[in-house]
Amino acid sequence: MELQTALTTLIMPPFAPLVGLLLAFSFWFFPNSTPVAKLSLPLAILCFLTLWICATPAFSGWLGQRLVNQLPAVPDAKPTAVVILGGGRYRDAQTGSERLSSPSLERVAWAVAKAPGSLPILVSGGRVYAQEKAAESDLMADALEKLFGRTVTWRENCSRTTAENAAFSAALLHDSGVESVLLVTHWWHMPRAQEVFARAGIQVQPLAVGSPGELMPRAQTGLLRWLPSAGALLRTQVYWRELLADQWYRWRPLPVRRNC
């Protein structure tokens, strides 16, 4: 997982443009007559503009719309269960205490508010890193039961990726005769999640947290759409990662269920 995360970081902003700027700076010290030295200024300008554009609300909104366009068709089957995908955790490095991250808790609350209370619930998420104590599914189940008074029927506690979420959850659901589910995750994660669950043999009715209408904050219109901001750069990273992961998943086989 560490290697996969590192490789993703290498090709995403801001790391890739910053490395390009560093190379452009180093090329500056080559003799002026060499081709490498002549590349210094064009490379610096290209990397600066790339970083600027990636940090604009206009570009992050455009990327988000690409995700929306990838949503697969929704089947007509009636869901007989709810599946909530984990979205991370917060861990205190000093005390080791763990709690659900904001995205995970938002998904849990969204499922409670939007999904029919009569449907059984499956929570999916394991331990991504060795130092993590509890499976993410256990943290979600505790929140559902203690904060919202909802019973969890299945805990899929081995998955570390969206592909494993789908493959391992599908195995549990098939064992219980469930073929169609309401899938709860954020709207930007839904295209990839919905597609991989379909590959695992589960029909999905999406119950997405939020909507594409959140792409462009009301204050960021006109000229402000082209001014860089930390929030826009963060959204660009999220959407870019989803687009890359979607292409990666399309030619990778589904993982095999494992013991954890």
Q: Per-residue DSSP letters for 244-257?
A: HHHHHHHTSPPPPP
Percentage above 70 pLDDT, the chain? 94
Architecture of domain 77-212: 3-Layer(aba) Sandwich (3.40)
For residue 72, cis peptide bond before it (omega within 30 degrees of 0): no
Q: Left, alpha or beta for 222 (phi > 0: left; psi -120 to 50: alpha)?
A: left
Element (DSSP H or E) covering residue 83: strand 82-85
The structure tokens 């104590």 sit at: 133
CB contact at 8 A, 81 and 173: yes
The candidate with the shortest Cα–Cα distance to 163, out of 200, 189, 129, is: 200
What does the pLDDT read at residue 70? 83
Write the CA distances from 162 to 105, 141, 165, 254, integer angstroms: 17, 18, 5, 10
What is the distance between the alpha carbons of residues 116 and 3, in angstroms, rounded to a whole number? Answer: 40
Instruction: Give Cα 138 distance to the centre of its chain.
Output: 20
Instruction: List the structure tokens of 67.
Output: 């995700």
Write the CA distances from 235 to 31, 213, 241, integer angstroms: 40, 14, 10
Q: Strands across the sheet with 203-209, in order? A: 154-156, 121-124, 82-85, 180-186, 203-209
Give every residue of the chain whose pLDDT is below 70, as ranges.
1-6, 213-221
The candidate with the shortest Cα–Cα distance to 115, out of 25, 206, 6, is: 206
Domain ranges of the chain: 2-68+227-243, 77-212
